[in-house]
Chains A and B, each alone.
Chain A
Amino acid sequence: MAARALPEVNIDDKVFTLKYYVDEQKSHLSLRDPGLCLKCAQKPCLSFCPVGVYRLDAQGQVVVGYQACVECGSCRVACPLHNIKWDYPRGGYGVAYKFG
């Protein structure tokens, strides 16, 4: 692939167009071992997640903003260290597309 600088996008603006019923009691996503992320050189989850659920905090630790998840399943299989504990949200919770 020829190198291209892709535009900077504020993903929060896109997420804003979505409707969610957030399960405030329970996150359906979590890191099995947050320490393991420090050893993950490339951190692909910061790229491939289509809604930017995985971000770095000020200390460089990966944090999981599960509320924005659209349940695509990508991080279930694409974390190279299998460090993401993945589940669907409880029935009725999570994203609800108006169009889809």
Chain B
Amino acid sequence: MVRLNYDVIVVGGGPAGMAAAITCARAGLDTILLERGRFAGAKNLFGGVVYTASVLSLVPDLFSASRLPFERPVTEEGWWILSQDGVVKITHTNATLRESPPRAFTAFRAKFDAWLAKQAQKAGVLVVPKVRVIDLLIKDNFVCGVQTDRTASWDDHRPAQVKAPVVILAEGVNRILSIKAGLVPRDFSPKEVALSVKEVLQLPKGELESRFGLQKDTGLAVELLGEASLGLPGTGFLYTNTSCLSLGVGLFLIDYATHNIKPYALLEHLKRHPVLAPLLAEAETLEYGAHLIPEWGFFGLAKLCGNGVLAVGDAVGLVNPLFREGTNLAIYSGILAGKAAIYAHKKGNFGYHTLRLYEEALKDSYIYQDLRYFRKLKTFLQQNKSFFQTYPYLLNEVLHLYLTAQGRAKQEVFKEICQLIRKQRGVTGLLGDFVRAMKFLKGW
């Protein structure tokens, strides 16, 4: 590190940090981004689907690039609801989803984040990988810089300190520095995060297209429910990339501990599911990996800023698991935080009351509205077990009875279906679940 004073320091080179840094640098602020990985993206893993609109809001000339940082367009989406040996598939596609440019793409973080880093460099950001921020410099209640794990120079072995009047924390789900900055009172608990594992699977040449019915410019992204999570709150996912698949599954961290579930055994169980196994035949694992997802939601939300400091993306907890939003919220929050940093530099004041511009903008946005709206999601999922434990299996059984009813008196079949529902959930249970689901969806 050559120089040690900047206008803005961004900690973390994921989409949130890159968005913040790019926004600041484009406004002429002297911006440094510190990333602990060997390159931006090296430490990151997601499903994953990125939404074009969010990338365009940061890189408007995205489609003028000769090579896009994505895999396949997502043209068909939905759910595969698994029982122990069967599936009910609900997926959707239409002409709009196949229009160009696609509204969403599958991607890999090691490539996407590294591409964002290139955009950041083009915008004038000094991107410094292989540097970990170990502490914040705090003076008179103001965050005024960071302490890194690099030595200051060849002959000065003390850890280098980098100073700036604004520090943007984009450290991701393990919000260690945010706690140090006083933005969150405590660490998260194992009930407040999901742990996901994923494999990138290479199929024999041409098999991806033939097994999933894909053309060159179409792609499938489905969430896997029911048996994927063993009937526990959680989901799996299957996304098609250019020439390979991303397959993963996640549960609340607490549930691995409580039920003694090994994440990789859970994933292997999914791979051997009778519906998935033939789709994955002869697949070779190119890479395995794991990552946490913040699910603390509205009630566990961090303070968004303080004196000289702003927090963005996963560090705050900006994800919406129901709608698979995370990278886009990271980018939007990064841009908003960047704008607040620019405003603070214009005013020459870096206190909370100036940086609050970010808090206000985020609170006005759909991101915050959604967080509020879904504030009871985690509790809802953890308390209404039947949505994972009963309905996926019941749905499979009911449909099976209906679809194999030929040659039988239909009244008898319907009676059997009703009995099945009564036995597995009961009429009161069913009605209760319905009311609770409606209440939840109405945001009560």
Interface residues of A in 73-94 (CB under 8 A from B): 73-74, 76-78, 80, 88, 90-92, 94
Name the contact of B42 in the complex, choosing from A8, A74, A97 (C-beta under 8 A): A97
Q: Quick one: closest A residue to B290, CB to CB?
A: A50
A6 touches B110 (CB 8 A): no
**Cβ contact within 8 Å between A74 and B292:** yes
Residue with the greatest number of chain A CB neighbours at <10 A, chosen from B187, B230, B272, B291: B291
Our pick among B36, B38, B197 for the contact of A88 (Cβ within 8 Å) is: B36
Q: 1/0 per residue B292-314: CB within 8 Å of A?
A: 10000000000000000000000
Which of B256, B258, B264 meets A11, CB within 8 Å? B264
Nearest CB of chain B from residue A22's CB, rounded to whole Å: 13
Q: List chain A residues, Cβ under 8 A from B46.
A: 100
Q: Is B265 positioned at the interface, with any CB of A under 8 Å from its CB?
A: yes
Q: Mark B189-222, 1 if CB is under 8 A from A, else 0.
A: 1100101010110000000000000000000000
- Whether B68 sits at the interface, judged by CB under 8 Å, is no
Chain A residues near B187 (CB-CB < 8 A): 76-77
- Within the assembled complex, what's the spacing in Å between the Cα atoms of A47 and B253? 11
Given known contacts A73-B173, A96-B42, A98-B287, A78 and B253 CB-to-CB distance under 8 angstroms: yes
Q: What does the 1/0 interface line of B164-176 toward A look like (CB < 8 Å)?
A: 0000000001100
| CB of B233 to closest CB in A, whole Å | 10
Question: Do residues B262 and A95 form an inter-chain contact, with CB atoms below 8 A?
Answer: no
Report the Cα distance A55→B37, complex, angstroms: 27
Asked whether B263 lies within 8 Å of A100 as measured between CB atoms, the reply is no
Say whether B269 contacts A6, CB under 8 Å.
yes
| Contact (Cβ within 8 A) A47 B195 | no
A70 and B256 within 8 A (CB): no
Closest residue to A45 on the B side, CB-wise? B257
Residues 1-41 of B contacting A (Cβ, < 8 Å)? 36-39, 41
Query: B148 contacts the other chain (Cβ, under 8 Å)?
Result: yes
A2 touches B149 (CB 8 A): no
- Which of A7, A18, A100 is most buried by chain B, counting CB atoms within 10 A of its CB? A100
Interface size bucket, A side? 35 or more
Q: A14-B285, A44-B257, A44-B260 are in contact. Are A97 and B41 (CB under 8 A)?
A: yes
In whole angstroms, how far apart are the Cα atoms of A51 and B264 in the complex? Answer: 8
| CB of A23 to closest CB in B, whole Å | 11
Q: Which residues of A contact B199 (CB under 8 A)?
A: 14
A-facing residues in B84-119 (Cβ within 8 Å): 108-111, 113
Contact between A74 and B130, CB atoms less than 8 A apart: no
A97 to B256, CA, bound (A): 24
Judging by beta carbons under 8 Å apart, are A47 and B285 in contact?
A: no
Report the minimum CB–CB distance from B270 to chain A (whole Å): 10
B263 contact from A4, A17, A48, Cβ within 8 A: A48
With a cutoff of 8 Å between Cβ atoms, the chain B residues found around residue A15 in the complex are: 288
**CA of A51 to CA of B262 in the docked complex: distance in angstroms?**
9
How many angstroms from the CA of A42 to the CA of B286 in the assembled complex? 33
Name the distance in Å between B308's Cβ and chain A's nearest Cβ. 23
Bound-state CA distance A9–B262 (Å) is: 9
The answer to whether residues A1 and B287 also contact, given A9-B262, A48-B257, A48-B263 and a CB cut-off of 8 A, is no
Hey, which chain B residues are within 8 Å of A96, CB to CB?
37-39, 42-43, 110
Bound-state Cα–Cα, A70 to B290, Å: 7
What is the CA–CA distance of A44 and B37 in the complex, to the nearest angstrom? 28
B131 at the interface (CB under 8 A from A): yes
Give bound CA distance, A39 to B410, whole Å.
60
Whether the pair A100, B108 counts as a contact (CB closer than 8 A) is yes
A48 and B272 CA atoms in complex are apart in Å by: 20
Q: Which residues of A contact B174 (CB under 8 A)?
A: 73, 76
A58 within 8 A of B: no
Give Cα A94 to B39, complex, Å.
12
By the criterion CB–CB under 8 Å, are A50 and B110 in contact? no
**B121 contacts the other chain (Cβ, under 8 Å)?**
no
Contact pick for B265, options A6, A17, A76, CB 8 Å: A6
**Which residue of chain B has its CB nearest to the CB of A43?**
B260
A98 to B289, alpha carbons, bound, how many Å?
10
Query: Given the known A-B contacts A50-B195, A78-B253, are A99 and B290 also in contact in the complex, defined by CB atoms under 8 Å?
Result: no
Q: Which of B41, B193, B195, B272 contacts A100 (CB 8 A)?
A: B41
Partner-A contacts on B (CB < 8 A):
36-39, 41-46, 108-111, 113, 129-132, 148-150, 173-174, 187-190, 193, 195, 197, 199-200, 230-232, 253-254, 256-266, 268-269, 272, 285-292, 389
- Can you list 23 A-B pairs, Cβ within 8 angstroms, ordered by A? A1-B231, A2-B231, A2-B389, A7-B272, A14-B199, A14-B285, A14-B288, A15-B288, A42-B257, A44-B260, A48-B263, A50-B197, A51-B290, A77-B193, A78-B254, A80-B257, A88-B132, A92-B38, A92-B129, A96-B37, A96-B110, A99-B110, A99-B287
Known: A50-B263, A98-B287. 6 other contacts (CB 8 A): A2-B230, A4-B269, A6-B269, A92-B37, A100-B41, A100-B45
